[in-house]
Structures are given as C-alpha cells and as structure tokens.
C-alpha cells in the first residue's frame, strides 16, 4: 500500500488556492524530492500530511489513514520552523521524544549528538541557530518511522553538516519507510533521491524518477528544474 496518497487534494486559504486537485502516491522504500519554487505549496502539502491543516477538498491518506493520532505515530516530521521549546535541553527533549514516540531510538540520538559535538545538557536557548537545526534533525531522524517528512532540512546548514544529514538519510534507509524532502537546493540532494515531485502554483507538474529525467532529458534534475521553472 502507498505510504502517502493524495486524492483530488485541494487547500484554499480564503481566496488563495494553495493546492489544487493533487493526485499522487508515494510508495515505501523511496526517497523523494518535493521540489518547487517558494510559495508553490510544498509546505502546505507537508502540513496537510501531518494533520496541521485540514483539506478543503479531497483526501490525504497516510498508510491508508486520514491524518490523526494513529498516523502521527508513524510520521516523523521536521518543520522549517524552530519548534522546540527553548527552555529544554537536548537531554530533556530526548526524554520527551522517548515518552511520546515508541519508535524513538535514544541510543542513536545520543550517538548523533556526540558525533556532531553537541552537549546534551545545553538548552536550546543557549545554542546557535545551526546547532538548533541539528538537534531538531537528530530527534526526527532518530525515530524508526514509516514516513519522514523533512521540510527544508538543509536550508541553513554548513556543507559538512549537509553531508552528514544526507549520509544519515542514506544510512537510515529502510525498505518499508519513505522519506520526502522538500527543498529548493536540488543539486545538493539529487543523488540521494529516487523520485522527484515538481509542484508549481499548487499544481502537480510531474512525478518521476531521477534517472528517468537524466535518461530522457540528458541533464540533471537540477538543470531540468531550472528549465521548467524558468522565470
């Protein structure tokens, strides 16, 4: 069964049509790039999958379920916001994740914190912006979820950390889990993706594999993207 499925999915904010008639399926075992210019509806789609928004029309299904308590237990979500309570330390946050998510692997989170040289007792408030983003990502990637929804995970990080993140995604690869990465930095993630989804102005433009684009177009996804979304 598809881990994520959209059926005629639309979302409107007042007069603004953020998503219109999206139909797509994401199978387990895939790493997928959700690509589109700013304001194309990437974040709206991810929020709908997390139940942070309710569809105006159509359906979005996670492992066959409408977003809710059960789906949230199998979805690991990285928002593009800084959403961790800033008075908590990395250790307290691990306690928190351990309490609420059965699939949270604490040993793995501790390992990653050590690897990136982050002190567990430090509070979020005391950390630099980059370190906060790393802690968020570590918590999210330390779950054994069935669907990872990563909204702009490599937006503000340095190249070494970016490589570490991509490495983590590959290492964490699980044939029964899917990873969706929304980004506009395509060249950086292209080689870890199998599939790409292009969206523009709330419409689904294309869902295909990276190698298909390269085979048919004779160019990288990044180059092709620039061509499709030429201003």
Partner 1 sequence: MLGKLLKHEFRATGRTMLPVFAAVVVLTVLANFSIRMIENDMGTMLNILFGLVIAAFFICILAATIMTIVMMVKRFYTNYLKDEGYLMHTLPVSVHELVWSKMIVSVVWFLATFLLIWLVIILTVLFQTGTNLAEIFAQLPSWEEIRAAMAEIGVRESELWLMLLESLLLTIVGGLFTCLHFYAAMSLGHMFSKDKILLSVVFFVGISFVLSLASTGYNVMRVQNFENLLNAVDSARDGLRFVRTMLHEGLIVELVESAALYVATTLSLKKGLNLA
Partner 2 sequence: MEWVFRNDLPIYSQLVDRIKLGIVSGALPPGARLASVREMATEAGVNPNTMQRALQELERAGLVFSQRTAGRFVTEDEKAIDDCKRTLAKGQIESFLEAMGELGYDREGIIALLKEDE
Cβ at position 136, least distance to partner 1 in Å: 9
**Are the C-beta atoms of 8 and 21 separated by less than 8 Å?**
yes
3-state secondary structure of 73: coil
53 binds, among partner 1, partner 2, none (CB under 5 to 8 A by kind): partner 1
* Binding residue (CB under 8 A) for partner 1 from 28, 29, 37, 51: 51
Residue 53 as a binder of partner 1 (CB under 8 A): the answer is yes
70 binds, among partner 2, partner 1, none (CB under 5 to 8 A by kind): partner 1
Choose one: 81-89, 106-114, 160-168, 208-216; the region binding partner 1 (CB under 8 A): 81-89
Choose one: 63-71, 115-123, 169-177, 196-204; the region binding partner 2 (CB under 8 A): 169-177
* Binding residue (CB under 8 A) for partner 1 from 34, 77, 186, 197: 77
β strands within 14-146, DSSP E: 16-26, 31-35, 57-62, 75-78
Residue 117 as a binder of partner 2 (CB under 8 A): the answer is no
Which strand (E) or helix (H) includes residue 113? helix 106-115
Residue 214 as a binder of partner 2 (CB under 8 A): the answer is yes
52 binds, among partner 2, partner 1, none (CB under 5 to 8 A by kind): partner 1
Helical axes 159-171 vs 129-141, angle rounded to 10°: 0
Indicate the burial class of 199 (C-beta count within 10 angstroms; 0-12, 13-18, 19 or more).
buried
Cα 143 from Cα 151, distance rounded (Å): 16
143 binds, among partner 1, partner 2, none (CB under 5 to 8 A by kind): none
In the sheet that 203-209 helps form, which strands lie side by side, from edge to edge?
75-78, 147-151, 178-183, 31-35, 195-200, 203-209
Cα 194 from Cα 205, distance rounded (Å): 17
Query: Any idea how long the chain is?
Result: 231
- Closer CB to partner 1, residue 54 or residue 191? 54
Residue 70 as a binder of partner 2 (CB under 8 A): the answer is no
Cβ at position 16, least distance to partner 1 in Å: 9
Closest by Cα among 95, 93, 73, 77 to 85: 93
Interface with partner 2 by CB under 8 A: which residues? 29-31, 163, 166-167, 170-171, 173, 191-194, 210-211, 214-215, 218-220, 222-223
Interface with partner 1 by CB under 8 A: which residues? 13-14, 47, 50-54, 68-70, 72-73, 75, 77, 79, 81-85, 87, 96, 99-101
């Amino acid at each position: 069964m598809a881990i994520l499925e959209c059926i005629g999915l639309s979302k409107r904010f007042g007069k603004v049509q953020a998503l219109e008639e999206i139909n797509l399926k994401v199978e387990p075992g895939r790493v997928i790039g959700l690509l589109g210019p700013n304001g194309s509806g990437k974040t709206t789609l991810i929020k709908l999958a997390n139940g942070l928004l309710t569809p105006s029309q159509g359906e979005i299904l996670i492992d066959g379920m409408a977003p809710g308590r059960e789906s949230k237990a199998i979805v690991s979500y990285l928002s593009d916001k800084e959403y961790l309570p800033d008075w908590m330390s990395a250790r307290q946050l691990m306690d928190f994740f351990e309490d609420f998510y059965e699939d949270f692997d604490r040993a793995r989170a501790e390992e990653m914190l050590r690897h990136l040289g982050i002190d567990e007792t430090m509070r979020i408030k005391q950390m630099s912006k980059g370190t906060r983003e790393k802690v968020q990502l570590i918590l999210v990637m330390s779950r054994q979820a069935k669907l990872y929804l990563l909204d702009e995970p490599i937006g503000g990080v340095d190249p070494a950390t970016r490589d570490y993140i991509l490495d983590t995604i590959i290492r964490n690869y699980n044939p029964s889990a899917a990873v969706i990465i929304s980004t506009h930095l395509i060249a950086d993630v292209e080689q870890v993706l199998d599939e790409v989804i292009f969206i523009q102005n709330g419409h689904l433009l294309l869902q295909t594999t990276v190698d298909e684009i390269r085979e048919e177009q004779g160019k990288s996804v990044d180059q092709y993207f620039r061509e499709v979304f030429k201003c």
